[in-house]
A and B are shown apart, each in its own frame.
Chain A
Amino acid sequence: MLAGIALTLVSLWYGQNHGLAPVQASADAVLVDDLFNTMMTVGMGIFLLVEGVLIICMFKFRRKPGDDTDGPPIAGNIPLEILWTAIPVVIVLVIGVYSFEIYRIEGGFDPEAAEQSPVQVSPVQVAMLPDTEMSAPLLPPASQPVSHKPMHNHMALGVGGMPDQMKDPDLTVNVMGLQYAWIFTYQDTGVTAGELHLPADKDVKLVIKAQDVLHAFWLPQFRLKQDAIPGQDAELRFTPTRVGEYPIICAELCGPYHGAMASKLYVQPADEFDQWLQQQIASQPNSDQTVAAKPAADRTDADYLATFAAHNPVDAAALEQLHPHSMQHSMSEQAAQSLQPTA
């Protein structure tokens, strides 16, 4: 009895004070942490119960020297067995419903995500097999218009808008993963950057794509992650609630320099963010042509990269080799050679 109370108290305390989670920078983080704390409390209780029984058995029920007799022939106890089947069923049910609810509030079932706004079909996703007969009937990638009926986008992937915000996001950023960098393109302004700047307390939507292999876009402080899959768009929609600087991590093995594929997220007060955005818009046309004004499909890889080359280990030459033209050939060697010094 006393042991039971102690066990419950320790579990309750530990569930709130494990200190395992990083800082919370979004509403999602608060929700997920509450869920984790609940699971940690229940888990701690079960852990203490099992380890406690094992330790008691080691000391209390140890065979006395010289005693070769058997223990009591108890082969079962139906009520007890029903009890320890029923309790896990209830626990699992509660955690299941709770997780379902958190996922719903986070926007996992966002109905809008299922029928997304027009998606710019990037060259990579259309003309996939250059230099073969299969690609012949396709238009050259550069003249591909913006598609209003994306074929590959019929299901919602990722975490969408919270159900009480049935409106367009305040800001939409395209996120392109490629070996070994993230490229961020702000949809309204066409600004392209190698680091992500977001305004605090605004509803933000990231459209996540991959150029070459699988990547995963992870924001630990936001408790959000979504794989970037070549040929499929996914989204993460959230509201940053805390000003600061956070790591962006690739969480899906993407090659030898996977560990180096990291970037930064700067959450800034709205006015500071606007200032930054204006700066970017102002600085980008300076590079020989007006990059931002070009339609996305007309931009070359070098255009994309020019604006943030300083932050990024990938240069235009490396990207050329990463392009699908060279994908079939000894990809790894070329990429490794060109990336080694900077990575």
Chain B
Amino acid sequence: MLPYLVAEPFHRLLQFVMTQTEAPTTKLPSGHHPAQERKWQDYFTFNTDHKVIGIQYLVTSFVFFAIGGLMADVIRTELRTPASDVVSPELYNQLLTLHGTIMIFLWIIPAGAGLANYLIPLMIGARDMAFPKMNALAFWMLPPAGVLLALSILVDAPQAGWTSYPPLSLMTGKVGEGIWIFSLLVLGTSSILGAINFFTTIIKMRVPSMDLNSMPLFCWSMLATSALILIGTPVLAGALILLAFDLLVGTAFFNPTGGGDPVVYQHMFWFYSHPAVYIMILPLFGAISEIIPVHARKPIFGYLAIAYSSLAISFLGLIVWAHHMFTSGTPAWLRMFFMITTMVIAVPTGIKVFSWLATMWGGKIALNSAMLFAMGFVGEFVIGGISGVMVASVPFDIHVHDTYFIVAHLHYVLFGGSVFGIYAAIYHWFPKMTGRMMNEPLGIVHFILTLIGMNLTFMPMHALGMQGMNRRVALYDPQFQPLNELCTIGAYILAVSTVPFLINAVWSWIKGAKAGDNPWNALTLEWQTTSPPEIENFETLPVLAWGPYDYGVERIPEDIEPPLTSPELQPDTSALS
């Protein structure tokens, strides 16, 4: 009896999950509802369509990108002169805290989630995500948390940096720090819900003819990303809850005045926040692996190597966190261990970079905005990768840790990498999302301004850090002023660079040239349906007639309707929507 009592609810739960992922196949196959159109109002509602949610994520995150970017420009204006003369020192620290937090948790991570939401079901031939309601819930946690965080600047924003190390974070204002912790807990939960969805969908809902090794590489990178989110984020939540106790109840987990250990917080924080770097870059690695073969008209070079290197990065990414703590309370042997694991990450990352280069080599490259940003991604990211190996080296990191060298390094990875990748993805998939092409000349202007602005802003920071400028300062030694002025000009160019993009996106969405279903002549499944895809993605569920990157290989002519498999074999999630 007892085993039954235990087993029964579990069995029901299992059944519930199973019906969510593999809905009964006797339902209407598809195509039986009259074709519905999305109305603009749908994008402001609790909608379970993964495509609506994907666009909600992308647009919301871009709004926060603009807010975070504005803060960056205020910071750069302050740093134009050595004195602290534009904003008060407290406001300066609030701005740098919010800038970091917003760019990470409300721009890059959600933008990656947006792309994943939009693309995964289309790429694997599913009608929606595995848990559509949970998916909508995950998105709708984002705006309140983000608005709360951004508005905290009106009352008392957090000012202990995005790392929020105690004891400082326990002493700089309870309200701001409390808001920061709460908002991050909500955003982390949202991220976990999203990851559960991505993982389940990719594993369980591919069309039957698609095995793991014929998945588009974007799906591989999202598997790796989801694993990192699921393992890392709960640890961050733990750290934040303990920090909240220290802050609000006066416990002393991390507070040395009660015998707590501030270094433990650093370990817990970085156990998530280093993998977070890969959570931010892996989805874009995936997107770049999709974009380059299409516009170079060549198969991806080394599919398996790229796929498994994502998993290798994901695994290694979990055991490198203390390289953020080489000058902190980390004993010598631990410093050496984390130095070696960190350097080893260069190997799978190098495999990806070389594979992308080999994919382009000998191709027939269309230098459109998407491809320019993809190539810019490779060229800029590699600079961040090289400086990444340098700062992994303990003796060198002891010199440059917490200096502008690190600021330069991280922005080459996250701006030169992630942001270039997001732009490339938007130019590439915009025709699919909206059914309209983006304007090419404006896109090229956008690319050139971004490339110049990016390098002008962040390249001089390497030298600043080497020569002795510490980070997170509002006032600095006058000898550093000339280089800082260059950085500030670069930051203004970056601000201007978003204008052609915004005009392009809005104008093209309304008035752009019709794109047709497959303007790039691409082979992955998302291009085999209408643009924008109908509400349940595919009229009839597709069957793989070719691999995702079979460029230059003789293929079945496209006008032949792919044969239908028997309805029993088709995953059908229409019951969910």
Contacts and interface: CB of A to CB of B under 8 A. Distances in A.
A134 B258 contact: yes
**B89, B379, B403 — which one has the most chain A CB atoms within 10 A of its CB?**
B89
Contacts of B116: none
Interface string B344-379: 101100110111011011111111000000010011
B93 to A, nearest CB: 6
Given A213-B167, A227-B328, A258-B472, A99 B303 contact: no
B257 to A, nearest CB: 5
A47 B383 contact: yes
Interface stretch (A153-161, A275-283, A300-308): A153-161
Interface in A9-31: 20-22, 28, 31
Contacts of B34: none
B574 interface: no
B375 A70 contact: no
Contacts, number: 299
A122 B357 CA distance: 58
A224 B402 contact: no
Interface residues of A, number: 96
Interface in A73-108: 73-77, 80-81, 84-85, 88-89, 91-92, 95-96, 99-100, 102-103, 106, 108
A50 B378 contact: yes
B463 A20 contact: yes
Nearest to B325: A227
A226 interface: yes
Contact of A256 (B89, B167, B351, B362): B89
Interface string A246-268: 01011111111111100000000
B474 interface: yes
B256 interface: yes
B389 A256 contact: no
A309 interface: no
Interface in A324-343: 324, 327-328, 331-332, 336
Contacts of A332: 90, 159, 171-173
- From A88, A230, A250, residue with most partner B Cβ within 10 Å: A88
Interface in B113-166: 159-161, 165
A254 B403 CA distance: 14
Interface of A: 20-22, 28, 31-32, 35-36, 39-40, 43, 46-47, 50-51, 53-54, 57-58, 61-64, 67-77, 80-81, 84-85, 88-89, 91-92, 95-96, 99-100, 102-103, 106, 108-109, 124-125, 128-129, 134, 155-157, 159, 212-214, 216, 218, 220-221, 223-227, 229-232, 234, 247, 249-260, 324, 327-328, 331-332, 336
4 nearest A-B residue pairs (beta carbon): A259-B473, A73-B552, A256-B89, A220-B468
Interface of B: 84, 88-90, 92-93, 159-161, 165, 167-168, 171-173, 250, 252, 256-259, 261-263, 296-305, 327-333, 335-336, 339-340, 343-344, 346-347, 350-351, 353-355, 357-358, 360-367, 375, 378-379, 382-383, 386-387, 389-390, 393-396, 398-399, 401-403, 462-463, 466-468, 470-477, 521, 549-553
